[in-house]
Chain A
Amino acid sequence: MESLPSGSLSYSELVIYGACETGKGRDVEENLVNATYNAGVRTVIGFEKSVWNSETNEWCAAFFHAIAEGETIYSACYEADYYIANNWYNPCNPNVEITTDSWYIAGEEYITLTNE
């Protein structure tokens, strides 16, 4: 990512890394989210913690559902959190703690994504 020329991704609106520790250190450390944002993407989302694949996939699905409903990026993160908290609790099968609540956004959080 660092080898890309500055601004080479400036035509990209949104990138989401549904993978472990892509936002580790948030805005103060080097991580994949910050590197992608610095390459010109308007908004980049990753996760501070190690995350479960299947949980992250469901989080992303809920996120994009909210985006399609016209929510802002921040509100969509909030809606996806709510979806996971509401659907992933199960006292009979508490395999894992929730991990997707560690999302990190670099860039503009209050924009909506519309088809133009």
Chain B
Amino acid sequence: MKRFVVVAVVLVCLTALLISCGQTVLDWERTPVEGIDFDLYHIQVSSGTEDGAFKTETVEPTGYYSEEQVESAEVETIQLGKRNYKVTLQKIIRRGQDSEERVFEDESGTIECRLLSLKQSFRIRAKTGFLSAFDEQTVLSEETLKDHALRFLSDYIELSFIENYDYSCTTRDAVHTPNAAWGETRDEFFIPPTDNPSDETIEIVYYSMTYSLYCGSYRTNDYVTITFDPKGNIRELLVCFTGVDWSSVRLPNEDMLQKKAIGAIKASLNSNYRYEDSELVSQRITYAEDGKIFITCSYSVKISRDGNHDYSTLCAVRITFDKE
């Protein structure tokens, strides 16, 4: 009995110490979705144009946004994955009604940490320099970059955590010609050819690797993104974890949802505009902090006015699943 009391007291003291240090006790458990009827949903269309084609209002993708600057010199310790950082709170960003982001700066002033209110989600970014250097003796390739990413990531999360995630890599570059320039994002790892015969110069801006969890063909907001500078040094890590067991989500037939989404776009056009065609740009399923789940599909929609003058516009269709 006496031993039990001692253990209990030690546990209470440890817990109190953790709380007093401001640490985040991480919980990577996933729980099934409960209380949502996936046969009950409503569809909302937001248009990306202000020319009166749509009955709906122009989309505001980020919605309400505010920043609160915090004047605090108090150093606290936060835990991001497996790592601890000594930081001071700089500001609080609020998006929408439920989403909050606390922005910290580490003691050196070179690293920014953001704690997102979505379960265990955080972002770390090098304000100057990088978070992890790429070995200069190693040849830069997708595989060596991936090895670097996974070594870095293992300092924050168990790698088994992303075993079921889909991997993708993008290259952000800028192309310069004598009279023009443009930015482009390639869905691949890309190194500009050294013997480029054209007058184009391609400049790598950054590489990005993302591990995403899918629910059917919809990308969820469970993902991990690592961003590198052109030399392979890691500049940024974003870990988004909802805690949702997506295998418990029973979505209606996806083709049927697509048809209903297109139908909603057609119905939202004003009478002198006609739907001609559309192309799906992206589709995601999102778990929000208020417990709601919604699918967002972006379409590039071709419409015509009074039977002529075809043009394209963006439309976001949101399908929200209601609670029972």
Contacts and interface: CB of A to CB of B under 8 A. Distances in A.
Interface of A: 20-21, 23, 26-27, 48, 50-55, 74, 77-78, 81, 87-97, 99, 101-107, 109
Contacts of B238: 89
Contacts of B96: 92-93
B221 A109 contact: no
A88 B93 CA distance: 12
Interface stretch (B68-76, B187-195, B306-314): B306-314
A51 B238 CA distance: 25
Given A105-B180, A107-B179, 7 more contacts: A20-B48, A27-B182, A53-B59, A54-B60, A54-B62, A55-B61, A94-B284
B221 A92 contact: yes
B184 to A, nearest CB: 7
A91 B121 CA distance: 9
Contacts of B318: 95
A16 B177 CA distance: 19
A95 B281 CA distance: 12
With a 10 A CB-CB cut-off, give which of A20, A77, A93, A106 has the most chain B CB atoms: A93
Contact of A51 (B288, B296, B314): B314
B58 A53 contact: yes
Contacts of B98: 92
Nearest to B48: A52
Contact of B95 (A93, A96, A101, A109): A93
B46 interface: yes
Interface string B273-303: 0000000011010101100000010101000
Interface string B253-285: 000000000000000000000000000011010
Contacts of B282: 96-97
A106 B180 contact: yes
A74 B174 CA distance: 10
Contacts of A87: 62, 65
Nearest to A24: B312
A109 B176 contact: yes
A54 B59 contact: yes
A88 B95 CA distance: 10
Given A53-B49, A106-B179, A78 B95 contact: no
A96 B59 contact: yes
B contacts with A: majority SS? strand
A73 B84 CA distance: 40
Contacts of B174: 74, 78
Given A54-B59, A92-B286, A97-B282, A77 B183 contact: yes
When A and B form their complex, which 10 residue pairs have the shortest distance between CB atoms, in order from nearest? A91-B240, A95-B61, A27-B180, A104-B182, A91-B221, A92-B99, A105-B181, A109-B181, A50-B314, A52-B48
A114 to B, nearest CB: 20
Contacts of A26: 180, 182
Contacts of A81: 183, 205
Nearest to B284: A94
Contact of B289 (A54, A89, A92, A96): A92
A114 B222 CA distance: 45
B224 to A, nearest CB: 11
Given A48-B182, A103-B182, A93 B99 contact: yes
Contacts of B226: none
A83 to B, nearest CB: 12
B95 A53 contact: no
A88 B101 CA distance: 13
Nearest to A74: B181
A104 to B, nearest CB: 4
B184 A102 contact: yes
B63 interface: yes
B154 interface: no
A21 B310 CA distance: 13
